[in-house]
Structure 1
Amino acid sequence: MEMTQQAAGIREVIERFIKERFDAKAEKLAPDGSKYQALVEQFQRDAWLEDAARRVSQLQVVTHSLKPIHPDAKGSNLYAPPESLDKHSVVGSHVLPIDFDGDVVGNAAALDVYKFLKIEYDGTSLLERVLEDDAELARALSDTPEQSQVWMQSFSAITEPRGEHASHTRAKQVYWLTGEDAVDNEEFHLLAPLYATSLAHRVFQAINHDRFSDMAKEARKAKREGRAGEQEVHDYPNMAAQKMGGTKPQNISQLNSERGGNNYLLASLPPRWNVRDIRPPLKVDSVLDEPGIFGRRKEVRSLVGDLKHFLEAAPNTDMHTRDLRDDYTAMILDELALFTMQMHELSPGWSADENCRLSMEEAFWLDPGRAQDDSDFREARNNTDWPGEVRRRFANWLNKALGGKLPLGDVEFRHWHKELSRDANQQRLLDSDRRWMEALMDDLESIDDWQEEGDEQG
């Protein structure tokens, strides 16, 4: 088979890839050892390609996968590129660009074969060339045309499902009414939904760019400072991250592994009406001083006044008194949780304003979103017991708010402190904050990994 200039270029990138794999494995082996010599034979071009063509059957390139539905499901996965799908008005895999990322499912030990097929020459990957039955790739693979065709056919099968299309008992299934008679079984189709993994990956990349890119950070900084900026600010409120695969995200798929198992879920919630104008607490030293921003809220003033009046009446120290006191306390804690959530709805980073005089613990409490862009703030927040300080400040505030005629001291302080520490709403907020911070740290670690990988490839 005559070798053209383009085929020679493709062969060069193939041999470079194989050599890099060899160098990584042979790094700690003695050149005169038997294991080294066996590795040399294994990584000869024809030998490695023969082995890769055999192992490629353990993988499948897909756009829609089953394991995200249930990790033990063993039904079919599908490769449906955007151009093969119907165009319609809602967002779906059909809107993906030509350079979309296909996912890979199967034996994680064979993923090096997929990495081989993803290497590019002249802007086109080997996988694209295989699927197009590219003659230049065939020339590059082997000097023997028959051998090249065998390998080309083996590699091209990576997009084909194994066996007949099938669902599985652990997969989700939906009966979809296609006719008008809901009591007639023949009027239904049985659907087996798959996870649109290529679309999910594109969404993940777009959201991470909007959250963590230098342009996005500069745009949010300009917004906080009231400056005009060329870059739009994109925000994703109430977003969640679904973890797939646990400590082994590669068992779900290749793209899931690249995301560290993180899959973003956008909020699907009814509208929330703002019943009051919520402003950031600027030019104050604390929201929990006396009376303070929190204490001046109408509902809080009313509850504290009622509790103070009740306690000043010197009620009997019986179960009824304790229950009523605890009821008032619980309602005040509900107001504290509501206040916290309303502060969290403000644009992240407001505590960085030069007019913000809050202690860092209160900034950590009320402006958690600042941790997304401010690395110093994030590190300090992760290494500070700010919830404990908030509980201490709340207990001090309530002691002072109820003071005057009442001789309140350390005993009451410890009681309010304990009540806040075990309040269910408080625990839910802290649990939500912990999960959010863990997801943020995972995202930042993924971004760092991608940047390092990009630097290495560059």
Structure 2
Amino acid sequence: MNSVRHGNNYLLSSLPPPAWKPRGGVNLLKIDSVFDEKRGALNGFGGMRELLRTLADFLKQSPDPTMETRTRRETIEQAVGAELAMFGVAIHGNYAAGWTRDDTCSLPLCEQLWLDPDRTELPERHDPQHPHWQELDREFNDAYERGDWADEVAGRFGRWVNQQLRNRSDKLIALGEAEMRHFARQAILDVAWPIPLQRRAKAGVA
């Protein structure tokens, strides 16, 4: 994205075109994470799989550390981060506010907050038969306001990208914490209030 503004958009010509809708629809209920290795939704979204393959193929060549190499790598990485943001936009547009209230939603809270931000605009539920619903809604709203969920998602994204690259080449097995934090900085999250667009991931297992 920044590289396009800086006049390097010609480098994007060989990358897959962006997509704003999930392929064939995405069911986010009954899965543990959108970053799940087998059932996660992100890898099959838009051009993500092709972008990761392009990045892995580029990195495993161990290109010389030239300005051209850096520009090419940054362009691909920014496209991967942008695809993450597009995924969020697509989910916001295809799911009604409050969909994470469904009993079959088992996503981590940070992913629920990222993908269902308009739930915070809904009135709290008051149901005598389900008194815990109101408390769940309050906890959801409070967690959204704190904003640290975005850093959690960024960290999950960084670890996920690392693992995807490792899966694609034995030459990339050594990717670790530094690379995870680097990829997490590409996590451009579509959020409803002004926290930084590019997140700094907390240290964690890479």
**Structure 2 residue aligned with 1:416, among 168, 183, 190?**
183
CA apart distance, 1:312: 1.0
Paired position in structure 2 for 1:15: none
2:155 pairs with 1:381? no
Higher relative contact order (CA 8 A, sep 6+): 2
Deviations 1:171-215 (A, max 9, x none): xxxxxxxxxxxxxxxxxxxxxxxxxxxxxxxxxxxxxxxxxxxxx
CA apart distance, 1:384: 4.7
Paired position in structure 2 for 1:367: 116
Name the CA shift for 1:391/1:408 in 2 (closer, same or farther; >3 Å).
same
Structure 1 unpaired stretches of 5+: 1-272, 436-458
Contact kept, 8 Å, 2:26 with 2:41, in 1: the verdict is: no
Mapping 1:386-397, distance limit 5 Å: 386-397=149-160
Distance 1:315 1:275 in 2: 33
What amino acid does structure 1 have at the position aligned with 2:176? G
What amino acid does structure 2 have at the position aligned with 1:369? D
CA apart distance, 1:274: 6.6
2:193 pairs with 1:434? yes
CA apart distance, 1:275: 8.0
Mapping 1:326-365, distance limit 5 Å: 326-345=74-93, 346-365=95-114
Mapping 1:185-200, distance limit 5 Å: none
What is the RMSD of the two structures over their aligned residues, measured on CA atoms? 2.1
Paired position in structure 2 for 1:132: none
Mapping 1:290-309, distance limit 5 Å: 290=37, 292-309=40-57
Name which one, 1 or 2, has greater alpha-carbon Rg: 1
Distance 1:400 1:367 in 2: 26
Distance 1:392 1:383 in 2: 17
Q: Runs of 4+ in structure 1 displaced over 6 angstroms?
A: none
What amino acid does structure 1 have at the position aligned with 2:85? A
CA apart distance, 1:380: 2.6
Distance 1:308 1:400 in 2: 11
Paired position in structure 2 for 1:221: none
Contact kept, 8 Å, 1:278 with 1:342, in 2: the verdict is: no
Distance 2:23 2:163 in 1: 27
What amino acid does structure 1 have at the position aligned with 2:193? R
Deviations 1:124-176 (A, max 9, x none): xxxxxxxxxxxxxxxxxxxxxxxxxxxxxxxxxxxxxxxxxxxxxxxxxxxxx
Contact kept, 8 Å, 1:280 with 1:350, in 2: the verdict is: no
Paired position in structure 2 for 1:208: none
Paired position in structure 1 for 2:58: 310
> How many residue pairs align between the two structures?
155
Name the CA shift for 1:337/1:274 in 2 (closer, same or farther; >3 Å).
closer
Name the CA shift for 1:362/1:325 in 2 (closer, same or farther; >3 Å).
same
**Structure 2 residue aligned with 1:402, among 165, 170, 174?**
165
Which protein is richer in strand relative to its size? 1
What amino acid does structure 2 have at the position aligned with 1:357? S
Paired position in structure 2 for 1:283: 30
What amino acid does structure 2 have at the position aligned with 1:434? W
Name the CA shift for 1:411/1:283 in 2 (closer, same or farther; >3 Å).
same
What amino acid does structure 2 have at the position aligned with 1:351? T
Distance 2:156 2:22 in 1: 27
Distance 1:318 1:290 in 2: 33
Name the CA shift for 1:276/1:296 in 2 (closer, same or farther; >3 Å).
closer
Paired position in structure 1 for 2:70: 322
Contact kept, 8 Å, 2:30 with 2:105, in 1: the verdict is: yes
CA apart distance, 1:298: 4.8
CA apart distance, 1:307: 0.7
Aligned residues with identical type, % of pairs: 34
Mapping 1:67-216, distance limit 5 Å: none
CA apart distance, 1:352: 1.1
Name the CA shift for 1:275/1:302 in 2 (closer, same or farther; >3 Å).
closer
Contact kept, 8 Å, 2:158 with 2:180, in 1: the verdict is: yes
Distance 1:416 1:392 in 2: 9
CA apart distance, 1:419: 3.0
Deviations 1:221-248 (A, max 9, x none): xxxxxxxxxxxxxxxxxxxxxxxxxxxx
TM-score for both structures, normalised by structure 1: 0.32
SS of the equivalent of 1:434 reads coil
SS of the equivalent of 1:282 reads coil
Deviations 1:366-415 (A, max 9, x none): 00111122441212321351110011001000000001411100111121
Distance 1:387 1:318 in 2: 33
